[in-house]
A and B are shown apart, each in its own frame.
Chain A
Amino acid sequence: MAQDDHSGAELAAADSSHAAPEFAGSTGTAVVPYDAFENPGFEPHRPRVTDQDPRREKRAQRTVYTLFYLSVLGSVWAVAAYMLFPMESNNVDAVRLNNMFIGFGATLALLGIGFGAVHWGKSLMTSAESIDTRHPISTSEATQRGAVEVFRQADEESGFSRRTVIRNSLIGALLAFPLPAVVLFRGFAPQDELPVELLSHTMWKKGTRLALDPSGVAIKASDVTIGSAFHVIPEGLTDLEHGKLEEKAKAAVLLMRLEPDELNQTPERESWSYEGIVAYSKICTHVGCPVALYEQHTHHLLCPCHQSQFDVANHCKVIFGPAKRPLPQLPIAVDDEGYLIAQSDFTEPVGPSFWERN
């Protein structure tokens, strides 16, 4: 069996003479000392107390059948509990009791059988161990050669390796035939939509009012006091017939008001805020959880999923955590009636990064 010419058979001081011959094989780098101890053979069998003391045996027997009877009791109790503890509307406690008492019955039923059977096995069944002989897993070499021979003969009779043109065309056909099945998977998503397209736009448009999440009530700039933060959705989102969650998953925004001098705005974004009110995408640029935790005194936003932190005072730059990109900013303004509105859509895709994003 030692066909592996790198095997350590030739170098190890190995002597596998004490191993059974049918378990032959290279010992590799195992060291088999010549004067290793001999297996002393089985220890003498020790009888258990239940084997020697009839009273103990009786008692064990009693324990076993008591457990089995308890199990029956448990089953009956579970059925009774099903009827005795109905689940009532507006009553969480009733649900809890129903769950608990059915569960206790089932538990008793199961544990009774379990402990009973184990106890029976341990204390009353004959305790002698069996001894099996192991045989090598591999079949005899003749059988193995026979199997190889079968393949050789099949090859011979079919001409599989001789008739190369047939063989190669078959391989080609076999490679090609699953392709249609693969193509069918295109149908997993709508045919007329492109992901990159969809990911690049949200519901926000020039003039869309910022509304409260979840009520959908538009927000006036005067409602946003310094230090406050609002969860925001585009007005009209709640009225959508279709795709409400999909739109919300892109359009959710956090609105915060800081002292205007606390904001370090770049010149080109100065016009994106309104008197210290800023709006940022709520969808984390890491893998897309909602960045829902706002720490008012530090102006930090925290994503609860993997602890990325964003600094609102500095255009939501990442200050800690695995996210890389700042949260996209939504340019806002105020309309004639004093409501906050978007100046446009986000200027970049929101949410997690994707391959085609640049």
Chain B
Amino acid sequence: MSTASTRSPAPVKRSFTAEASEYVNDRTGLAIAIKGLGRKAFPDHWSFLLGEVALFSFIVILVSGTFLTFFFQASMAEVHYDGSYVPLKGVEMSVAMASTLDISFDIRGGLFVRQMHHWAALLFVAAIGLHMLRVFFTGAFRKPREINWVFGFTLFVLALGEGFTGYSLPDDLLSGNGLRIIDGLVKGIPLIGTWTSFLLFGGEFPGTVIVGRLYALHILLLPALLVALIGIHVVYVFIHKHTQFAGPGREPTNSVGPPILPIYAAKAGGFMFIIWGVISLIAALFTINPIWNYGPYDPSPVSAGTQPDWYIGFADGALRLIPPGWEFVLFDRTWSFNILVPLVVIGIFLLLVVAYPFIEAWVKGDTREHHIADRPRNAPTRTAIGAAGVTFYAALWAAASSDILATHFSLTMEGVIYALQAITVLGPFIAYFITKRVCIALQKKDREVVLHGYESGRIVKLPGGEFIEVHQPLDEYDRWRLVSYESYQPLMLRPNARGKITIGQRVRASLSRWFFEDRIAPVTQGELEASHSAHH
């Protein structure tokens, strides 16, 4: 690759690109990367863009956040505000709050950058969430991508951490209240809670150190982890090559799409600028987190109807749904189940999310690599589980706005909470049931279309006088999109080599039955022929 210069003494006119790449390659050996990756196919689908949205908004967060660090001062020392925002002049507040106000009112474009940072953060978490849903519902977490799912999940948790620490930094009334809730939550943890809170806040709440500590996490530790993990996550997308949906010519053994250079680069690069532009437009038009309306933190006042950033909502909602009285004194100690239960339930929920790929793989016993994305309907149980999870999350999330729901729809607070308690518990089951039925109905419909063609909308009158609608047969390409999936059957219990049936195997068999007993198999050639001969 790099031998050209030594070999050819004859002066040949060469392009600038060739010269430059030779210069760089002689010193770095990077040509192998360009040659290897430059023309790689990148499968295309709108849903594959969600991860990119997350990545691109993260870049905005990094750049805008760096700008903000030049002005923000993470100190809780008390000052009397003396900036341009007149209503707060002379008010006692922390340096953190005052410097955030300065960014907003005394530095041109500062408010714009601050709002870009906040909006991009909201978009970042949302995009990660949607991206995870895409990966889940298309089964893109299957071998060999299980570990990358874990990395992605970790990124989601880190993003939540970034969001919450960032939200707390301005030390305004809302962020202080958020921290107060964290303090109360931590104190409710058995055994270590009181001391953990004490150490976290450097003494009693609110103390004078928490903003500085969260700042260290927010701009150093968490971003370092995020950058490193995003790097690994994306490298593995390259190593695995992106999944693709089934389609003519697409095989488990190939990867089909526009080449990275130039089309994918143009489209993804352009898309990156579009995302940036959209964030910029939102920041230009819509105020976010107007701390000057809230004022500095004070443990006494609070206003009704204030909301945390959206991604914290589910945790806040979980706290609200606990019925009265779940706190006991036992063995001379306080057991705050009104705090423990939400923490544990959310913990289990998150554990199930991160463990799901491994559970499904174990149930299926399928050790092949899977590179063709499932259509959600073709994995009805998985899709239904996903819908149940989404419903659960949504119910918790809605609960965080129970007061707004109540006042907005003139309901009683109690009524809203009771309804949401019911939805949180029953909703997932209902969602599971409905989704599974819908998936199976759609699969049956697909079979129908493959076997008998689709309805053409053309009505003809038969010689006998009856009317029928002409069914148009599918061409082989469209048919392939509908039949190229695999179905699984329930595991049959068999004794192992030592003639025993282990408990693990029993569990696996019953999970397998649950997953696969309503199985709709794809149409085979034989079935299609049979249906044709039945018609004529």
Determine the distance from Cα of A4 to Cα of B184 in the docked complex, in whole angstroms.
47
Contact across chains for A26 and B205 when beta carbons are under 8 A apart = no
Quick one: CB contact mask for A199-215 with B, threshold 8 Å, 1 for yes? 10000000000000110
- Assess whether B203 is interfacial by the CB under 8 Å rule: yes
Knowing A189-B202, A355-B190, say if A37 contacts B483 (CB, 8 Å): yes
- Assess whether A341 is interfacial by the CB under 8 Å rule: no
The interface stretch among B217-225, B332-340, B432-440 is B332-340
**Chain A stretch 221-260: residues in CB contact (< 8 A) with chain B:** 231, 233, 243, 245-246, 248-250, 252
Question: Which of chain B's residues have a CB closer than 8 A to the CB of A323?
Answer: 324, 338
Q: Could you list some 18 contacts between A and B, CB below 8 A? A: A5-B497, A26-B368, A33-B522, A37-B524, A103-B285, A110-B277, A111-B273, A129-B258, A130-B39, A213-B300, A246-B203, A249-B206, A287-B180, A305-B302, A305-B316, A308-B324, A322-B320, A355-B189
- Assess whether B531 is interfacial by the CB under 8 Å rule: no
Closest 3 CB pairs of A and B: A103-B284, A287-B184, A117-B270
CB distance from A60 to the nearest CB of B (A): 13
Q: Max chain A CB contacts within 10 Å: which of B195, B254, B270?
A: B270
Knowing A8-B365, A41-B249, A99-B112, say if A324 contacts B327 (CB, 8 Å): yes
CB distance from A13 to the nearest CB of B (A): 8
Question: Which of chain A's residues have a CB closer than 8 A to the CB of B285?
Answer: 100, 103
Chain B interface residue count, CB cutoff 8 Å, equals 147
Question: Which of chain A's residues have a CB closer than 8 A to the CB of B134?
Answer: none
Knowing A100-B285, A185-B199, A246-B206, say if A35 contacts B525 (CB, 8 Å): yes
Knowing A137-B144, A324-B327, A353-B327, say if A117 contacts B269 (CB, 8 Å): yes
Quick one: CB contact mask for B312-330 with A, threshold 8 Å, 1 for yes? 0000100111111111010
- Assess whether A1 is interfacial by the CB under 8 Å rule: yes
**Chain B stretch 478-519: residues in CB contact (< 8 A) with chain A:** 479-480, 483-484, 486-492, 494, 496-497, 502, 504-505, 508, 512, 516, 519
CB distance from A248 to the nearest CB of B (A): 5
Contact across chains for B284 and A131 when beta carbons are under 8 A apart = no
Determine the distance from Cα of A67 to Cα of B467 in the docked complex, in whole angstroms.
54
- Name which residue of chain A comes closest to B505, CB basis: A6
Question: Which of chain B's residues have a CB closer than 8 A to the CB of A126?
Answer: 263
Knowing A6-B508, A355-B191, say if A131 contacts B254 (CB, 8 Å): yes
Spell out A's residues near B (CB within 8 Å): 1-2, 4-12, 16, 19-20, 22-33, 35-37, 39-43, 82, 85-90, 92, 95, 98-104, 106-111, 113-122, 125-127, 129-134, 136-138, 185-186, 188-190, 193, 195-196, 198-199, 213-214, 231, 233, 243, 245-246, 248-250, 252, 282-284, 286-290, 292-293, 302, 304-309, 318-325, 351-358
Determine the distance from Cα of A12 to Cα of B262 in the docked complex, in whole angstroms.
45
Q: Max chain B CB contacts within 10 Å: which of A2, A101, A113?
A: A113
Question: Which of chain B's residues have a CB closer than 8 A to the CB of A352?
Answer: 183-184, 187-188
Contact across chains for A304 and B239 when beta carbons are under 8 A apart = no
- Assess whether B276 is interfacial by the CB under 8 Å rule: yes
- Name which residue of chain A comes closest to B184, CB basis: A287
CB distance from B254 to the nearest CB of A (A): 5
Quick one: CB contact mask for B288-307 with A, threshold 8 Å, 1 for yes? 00000000011111111110
Spell out B's residues near A (CB within 8 Å): 39-41, 84-86, 104-109, 111-112, 115, 143-144, 177, 180-181, 183-185, 187-195, 197-207, 239-241, 248-259, 262-267, 269-278, 280-281, 283-285, 297-306, 316, 319-327, 329, 332-334, 336, 338-339, 364-369, 371, 402-403, 413-414, 417, 476-477, 479-480, 483-484, 486-492, 494, 496-497, 502, 504-505, 508, 512, 516, 519, 521-526
Knowing A110-B277, A290-B300, A323-B324, say if A88 contacts B84 (CB, 8 Å): yes
- Name which residue of chain B comes closest to A290, CB basis: B302
- Name which residue of chain A comes closest to B300, CB basis: A252
Beyond A134-B254, A324-B336, 13 extra complex contacts between A and B, CB < 8 Å: A36-B522, A41-B248, A98-B111, A99-B109, A102-B109, A111-B274, A118-B266, A118-B270, A188-B199, A188-B200, A321-B324, A321-B417, A356-B333
Contact across chains for A11 and B494 when beta carbons are under 8 A apart = yes
Contact across chains for B306 and A246 when beta carbons are under 8 A apart = no
Determine the distance from Cα of A108 to Cα of B280 in the docked complex, in whole angstroms.
9
Contact across chains for B248 and A116 when beta carbons are under 8 A apart = no
Across the interface, A134 reaches (CB within 8 A) one of B241, B299, B366, B489, namely B241
Q: Max chain B CB contacts within 10 Å: which of A122, A185, A286?
A: A286
Question: Which of chain B's residues have a CB closer than 8 A to the CB of A28?
Answer: 364-367, 488
CB distance from A311 to the nearest CB of B (A): 12
Question: Which of chain A's residues have a CB closer than 8 A to the CB of B203?
Answer: 189-190, 193, 198, 246
CB distance from A241 to the nearest CB of B (A): 10
Contact across chains for B368 and A132 when beta carbons are under 8 A apart = no
- Name which residue of chain B comes closest to A283, CB basis: B299
- Name which residue of chain B comes closest to A103, CB basis: B284
Contact across chains for A6 and B277 when beta carbons are under 8 A apart = no
Across the interface, A288 reaches (CB within 8 A) one of B180, B207, B259, namely B180
Knowing A31-B487, A102-B112, A246-B203, say if A287 contacts B183 (CB, 8 Å): yes
Determine the distance from Cα of A5 to Cα of B369 in the docked complex, in whole angstroms.
19
Contact across chains for A37 and B525 when beta carbons are under 8 A apart = yes
Contact across chains for B366 and A121 when beta carbons are under 8 A apart = no
Across the interface, B115 reaches (CB within 8 A) one of A99, A129, A309, A354, namely A99
